[in-house]
Amino acid sequence: MILTGLLLFITLASLACDDKNSPQSVKQTPAESAPDKRPALTFPPDSGMLPKFDGDRALQYVKDIVKFGPRPLGSANHKKVEDYLLSRLKGDDVENDTFTADTPVGKFPVHNIIAKFPGTKDGVVVVASHYDTNYPLRNTAYVGANDGGSSSALLLELANQLRGKTREGYSVWLVWDDAEEAMKPESETPFLEDSLYGINHLAETWQADGTLKKIKAFLLADMIGDADLSVERDANSTSWLEDAVYEAATRLGYQSHFFERNNQVSDDHIPFMKRGVPCADLIDFLYGYNNVFWHTPQDTVDKLSPKSLEIVGAVVLETIGILDKMEPLPPK
C-alpha cells in the first residue's frame, strides 16, 4: 500500500473560536438552501453480543507465517505460505484464483485464495488481506510480520470463528490476495502501476462473471497487528462503511483505536472501489515512530500484540453484524 495524501482536519471547535471578521471565518449557509445530501445513516440496534476472536491464536498464526522467512512472489517460501494457508482451510469451501502476472521484472505465478462461508441472506461481504512480502526487499531479512503477516493471520482466525456455524446474514468470503506488493522500488515505478496484481485480477474476473454484483461490502485489513494500534480513517474508502466500522468499534469500546488520523490510502481496495463496491480499508500506517518499521527488517512479531489482532478481528465481525441488519444498505 501507499499513502496518497494526508488530510488535515479543521475541527468545528477551532472554527467556532475564530473571530467573525478574521480571514478564517466561515460563511454560514442556511440549511434550507443547502440540504445535506448524505442519507441519514441509522444503524440497527446493538444486540449487545460480543463477537468472539482469539487474539493469541491469531498471533500464533503470524509467527507461523513469518517462520518461513521472506515470501516474495515466485519464491519457495511464498509457495510454503500458500500451502500453509490452504492447510489451515482444509475442509472449507476454498476457491483458487491463479494466473501469471506480467510485471516489470518478469512473469510470475500469482495465487489468490478465497474461503467462502455461506450466510442465509443474499449477498456477500468480502474481508481481504494480502500475504506476499515486498519483492525489492527479497534479499534482506524482511518478513512482513505486520505488513501482510498480521492481516493474513487475522483472516485465518476469522475463518475459525465462521466455520461450522449457520450465519444469519450475508455470506462472508475471506480473500488472501497475492502480489499486492510492488515488484520494483517505488522510486522507479509508481505504486499503482506495479502492485495489486492479485486483487486487480480478482476484481476483473468477478466483474466479468457477474460475481461482483453480489458483493455488498469489501473490508480490507492491512498492518493491523501493531501493539500501538491506531487505525486510519481512509478518504479512499466509502464514507458510510467507514462510519459503520466506527460504530462497530464504539459498540465494543474500542473507538480510541480508530480514526484518530485521517489519510488517503492506495491499497488492495482500490480495484473494488473503482467498480462501485463499498469499501473500508482498516490500516494503521504509523508503525513505529514516523513509520520506521514499515518495509524494513524491523517489521517483526515482537512489535505486535494479540490485543490489537483481537480488537480488529472483533470490529470486523461486529461491522459484518451491523451490515447484516442494515436494510437497505446505503448507496455507495
The answer to whether 154 and 221 have CB atoms below 8 angstroms apart is yes
Question: Which is closer to Zn ion, CB of 132 or CB of 242?
Answer: 132
177 binds Zn ion (CB under 5 A): no
The verdict on whether omega for the bond into residue 185 sits within 30 degrees of 0, i.e. cis, is no
Helix (H/G/I), strand (E/B), else coil: 291: helix
Task: With CB under 5 A as the rule, give the number of residues binding Zn ion.
Answer: 1
Q: Which of 97, 132, 147, 234 binds Zn ion (CB under 5 A)?
A: 147
Question: Which is closer to Zn ion, CB of 147 or CB of 157?
Answer: 147
Burial (Cβ within 10 Å: 0-12, 13-18, ≥19) of residue 318? buried
What is the smallest separation between the CB atom of 164 and Zn ion, expressed in angstroms? 33
What is the smallest separation between the CB atom of 72 and Zn ion, expressed in angstroms? 11
**Closest-CA residue to 220 (of 167, 169, 165, 285):** 285
Q: Strands (DSSP E) along 68-160, which ranges?
A: 93-103, 106-117, 119-130
Binding span for Zn ion by CB under 5 A among 74-82, 147-155, 280-288, 310-318: 147-155
Question: Which is closer to Zn ion, CB of 180 or CB of 243?
Answer: 180
Question: Which is closer to Zn ion, CB of 147 or CB of 232?
Answer: 147
Helix (H/G/I), strand (E/B), else coil: 275: coil
What is the smallest separation between the CB atom of 266 and Zn ion, expressed in angstroms? 12
Binding span for Zn ion by CB under 5 A among 103-111, 143-151, 188-196, 310-318: 143-151
What is the smallest separation between the CB atom of 134 and Zn ion, expressed in angstroms? 5
Residue of this chain nearest to Zn ion (CB atom): 147
Binding span for Zn ion by CB under 5 A among 142-150, 161-169, 205-213, 236-244: 142-150
Binding span for Zn ion by CB under 5 A among 56-64, 74-82, 146-154, 279-287: 146-154
What is the smallest separation between the CB atom of 129 and Zn ion, expressed in angstroms? 11
Question: Which is closer to Zn ion, CB of 133 or CB of 319?
Answer: 133
Helix (H/G/I), strand (E/B), else coil: 53: coil
281 binds Zn ion (CB under 5 A): no
**Closest-CA residue to 277 (of 206, 200, 201, 213):** 213
The answer to whether 228 and 307 have CB atoms below 8 angstroms apart is no
Question: Which is closer to Zn ion, CB of 147 or CB of 281?
Answer: 147
Question: Which is closer to Zn ion, CB of 147 or CB of 226?
Answer: 147
Helix (H/G/I), strand (E/B), else coil: 175: strand
Residue 3's φ and ψ, nearest 5 degrees, are -90, 125
What is the smallest separation between the CB atom of 181 and Zn ion, expressed in angstroms? 5
Helix (H/G/I), strand (E/B), else coil: 306: helix
Q: How far apart are CA 153 and CA 156, in angstroms?
A: 5
Question: Which is closer to Zn ion, CB of 149 or CB of 278?
Answer: 149
What is the smallest separation between the CB atom of 96 and Zn ion, expressed in angstroms? 23
Question: C-alpha angle with apex 289: 295 to 258, nearest 5 degrees?
Answer: 90
Characterize the bridge pairing of strands 258-266 and 2-6: antiparallel
Residues that bind Zn ion (CB under 5 A): 147
